[in-house]
Amino acid sequence: MDEQRLRKFPNGQRCTECRARKYYLENGRRYCQRGHEVEGYIQFDVDEDDNYGKTGKVVRKEKEVRETERKHLSGNDAKELYLDCLQIILRKQIAWLIREKGFSDELESICRDLWDLRIRKFIGLKSVSRAQEKGKGIDHDGTGSQHCGGGSGALSQSGSDSEMVMYSSQAETTDTSADESVKSQRKKRSGRVKDWESELWDLPGPMEVLALIYMGCLLKQEPVRVGDIYRWAKNNQLPFLGAIDLVPNELRERLPGWAQRTLLTRWAKFDGSELHKSLLTLTLGFKKNYGMVSPPLPAPSLLVLYLQDLALPPEVHLHARQICLMLNLSWAFPTRQNIKDDTSFTGKTSRYTLLDIPDVLLVASLVLATKYMYPMDGVKRYPRDHNDPLTLKMDWDAWEAEFADPPEKPLRRLDFAAMDAEKVWTLSKEQMVEYLDWYQETQLKSWSAADETEIDRLFPLENVLRLPEPGSKDMTDEELIARMHRVQKSMKLVEPRPETNDGRNIKRLGSFHQRFRSVEQLGESGPARRFHEKAAEISGLSLKALVKAVYSLEELLFGWEKKEKRRMRLGEV
């Protein structure tokens, strides 16, 4: 046998007859080096002529490629899901206003149209191109169709509240870019006017949803203030603090981290003016992108609400409107109609501020009129005759007693969040129950049967009802009117003092008028401090923002007064 034809058996194999270690191939069969046939091996089938002389092929079964779906969405899919979650929250908030506050059913359709305009220009939403094609009579099925409702189908339902009209995406972006766009929205506060069609997504947030609801109420001319919506959301009467809990679990689990943090509104700090800033941004956005002009707010009815809430005399209503009339300020945004070329009084080109929001102008003019008519500095001023506003003097001590805080102020959610272990042990029995309910609601994950443990079976937790904040119940109209009557009964009558020729300087209306440029000038206590605090609380502004708005209005009034004196002096010459 030719040694070159011999091959070695694989490890562990030998000839079964002679124990030979080598073999050779012949006619498709294997033989050991001594000629014994090794059974169980056939290189090819010699019986079939078609396969004669051909070696076999090794065919391996390809593994099935499993497509794993990511738990959290990213890119435009995540943004679309985030917008759908905001739609669910928006619809539940509108339903609460209609059901609990008696607002008109038309508010839902108005807010739906505003929401459609807010999101229809977002790049990457398939609904945008779909609306354009439907406008041309082209449907995605190749047939002409009629477009019903909003372009994005916002707030529409099919079956249940959670079945919203879902969008689809065209372009993919990373989750990091979405997170950066949310951060950039917070950083670029100075450039409020933004193009909603830009590549950088300007995603709305929960606070902007509240601003959109207020715009819907303004278009419907509902007698509601920004401070009302702000207070209802802060006290958890309007579904806001648990916004992420309003979203179904199947949608919430697919949200990325940046979206869940945005919807986690239970940690929102209501320091004041947040809703007004969002309203200013949203109003400017509608004005730039669509040329939309908001209608004037119903000032007379809203001023009456402020008079009731602050227990002020009705004469303040007339003087507050007269101040805005003298300064040529309107009740529509922006309140300064000549804002683009407004160089009067200050000599500088003006820009949009909180005072350009009609609701802020309303409360600022009310505070300014109250300070002029019923000063809080204790300086004695005398009227000229019985028609002078100084004829009646406000008893600010009695007013302050009516608006004094209770001896034990109830704890709120933010107080619980800031507590340490030592403070928790000092709580009373009722406060401890509220603290444990708050902890179960905000700190524990939502319970499911699959996550049940032995300790859960031994000590089951009861469902915690989502209650409003302590002391958040609004006063009834009868209680407000009764408080107003008590304050007005305490007002004192001041005898008029006509002008004399003896040279005595009698202080009149507006003499030595006290102006507050900062919060520190209000003092730690006193009627002026308490009055500004209550006005800021009712309006939803921070105390600092209200003082700044009132001071800005006083500056405009002071400039108007100088201009009128100059005009009268030139007219006399």
pLDDT for 175 equals: 45
What span, in angstroms and rounded, lies between the C-alpha atoms of 469 and 447?
24
Q: Which amino acid is at 516?
A: F
Q: Which amino acid is at 71?
A: K
Q: Which residue has the tokens 């509608």?
A: 286
Q: Which amino acid is at 411?
A: L
Mean pLDDT along residues 213-231: 92
What span, in angstroms and rounded, lies between the C-alpha atoms of 385 and 387?
5
Is residue 259 very low, low, confident or very high in pLDDT (cuts 50, 70, 90)?
Answer: confident
CA distances from 420 to 197, 425, 433, 437 (A): 46, 9, 16, 17
What span, in angstroms and rounded, lies between the C-alpha atoms of 538 and 481?
16
Whether the per-residue pLDDT at 225 is higher than 90: the answer is yes
pLDDT for 68 equals: 64
CB 533 within 8 A of CB 347: no
What span, in angstroms and rounded, lies between the C-alpha atoms of 300 and 436?
45
Q: What is the pLDDT of residues 496-509, one digit of tens each?
A: 777 766 656 777 77
Mean pLDDT along residues 536-557: 92
Q: What is the DSSP letter of 28?
A: T
What span, in angstroms and rounded, lies between the C-alpha atoms of 206 and 418?
23
pLDDT for 162 equals: 33
477 compared with 174, residue with greater pLDDT: 477
- Preceding amide of 334 cis, omega within 30: yes
CB 23 within 8 A of CB 9: yes
What span, in angstroms and rounded, lies between the C-alpha atoms of 489 and 567?
42
pLDDT for 466 equals: 55
406 compared with 120, residue with greater pLDDT: 120
Mean pLDDT along residues 137-147: 37
What span, in angstroms and rounded, lies between the C-alpha atoms of 190 and 203?
17
Among the listed residues 468, 297, 99, the one whose alpha carbon sits nearest the alpha carbon of residue 107: 99
Instruction: Count CB-CB contacts under 10 A for residue 209.
Output: 23
Taking the C-alpha atoms of 379, 380, 381 and 382 in order, what is their torsion angle to the nearest 10 degrees? 180
Is residue 75 very low, low, confident or very high in pLDDT (cuts 50, 70, 90)?
Answer: confident
What span, in angstroms and rounded, lies between the C-alpha atoms of 204 and 214?
15
The full length of the chain comes to 573
What span, in angstroms and rounded, lies between the C-alpha atoms of 213 and 87?
12
Whether the per-residue pLDDT at 185 is higher than 50: the answer is no
Provide the mean pLDDT of the chain: 76
Q: Which amino acid is at 289?
A: N
pLDDT for 572 equals: 54
Whether the per-residue pLDDT at 440 is higher than 70: the answer is yes
Whether the per-residue pLDDT at 166 is higher than 80: the answer is no
Whether the per-residue pLDDT at 150 is higher than 50: the answer is no
The dihedral sign for the CA sequence 268, 273, 279, 284: negative
Q: What is the pLDDT of residues 384-399, one digit of tens each?
A: 777 777 778 888 889 9
CA distances from 111 to 203, 217, 390, 545 (A): 17, 9, 46, 28
Share of the chain above pLDDT 70, in %: 71
Q: What is the DSSP string of 449-512?
A: GGG--HHHHHSPPPPPP-PPPTT-PPPPHHHHHHHHHHHHHT-EE-------SS------TTTT
Q: What is the DSSP string of 47-96?
A: S-GGGTT------PPPPPPP-PPPSS--HHHHHHHHHHHHHHHHHHHHHH
Is residue 464 very low, low, confident or very high in pLDDT (cuts 50, 70, 90)?
Answer: low
Picking from 179-188, 214-223, 409-418, which range would have the lowest pLDDT averaged per residue?
A: 179-188
- DSSP percent split of the chain into helix, strand, coil, nearest 5: 45, 5, 45
Is residue 7 very low, low, confident or very high in pLDDT (cuts 50, 70, 90)?
Answer: confident
Whether the per-residue pLDDT at 341 is higher than 50: the answer is no
Q: Which amino acid is at 275?
A: L
Mean pLDDT along residues 401-426: 74
Whether the per-residue pLDDT at 137 is higher than 50: the answer is no
- 3-class SS of residue 381: coil
Instruction: Count CB-CB contacts under 10 A for residue 97.
Output: 22
Mean pLDDT along residues 517-522: 88
Mean pLDDT along residues 319-348: 71
Whether the per-residue pLDDT at 51 is higher than 70: the answer is no
pTM of the full predicted structure?
Answer: 0.71
Among the listed residues 28, 558, 538, 67, the one whose alpha carbon sits nearest the alpha carbon of residue 326: 558
Whether the per-residue pLDDT at 11 is higher than 70: the answer is yes
Beta bridge partners of residue 392, listed in sequence order: 493
- 3-class SS of residue 429: helix
Strands 157-158 and 160-164, by their bridges, are antiparallel
pLDDT for 135 equals: 47
For residue 277, give the H/E element and its range: helix 274-290
CA distances from 465 to 89, 179, 242, 434, 530 (A): 18, 33, 12, 11, 34
Show the tokens assigned to 168.
Answer: 């689809």
Mean pLDDT along residues 242-256: 84
Q: What is the pLDDT of residues 77-135, one digit of tens each?
A: 888 888 999 999 999 999 999 998 889 999 999 999 999 998 887 766 655 545 445 54
Whether the per-residue pLDDT at 209 is higher than 80: the answer is yes
What span, in angstroms and rounded, lies between the C-alpha atoms of 76 and 73?
9
- Preceding amide of 296 cis, omega within 30: no
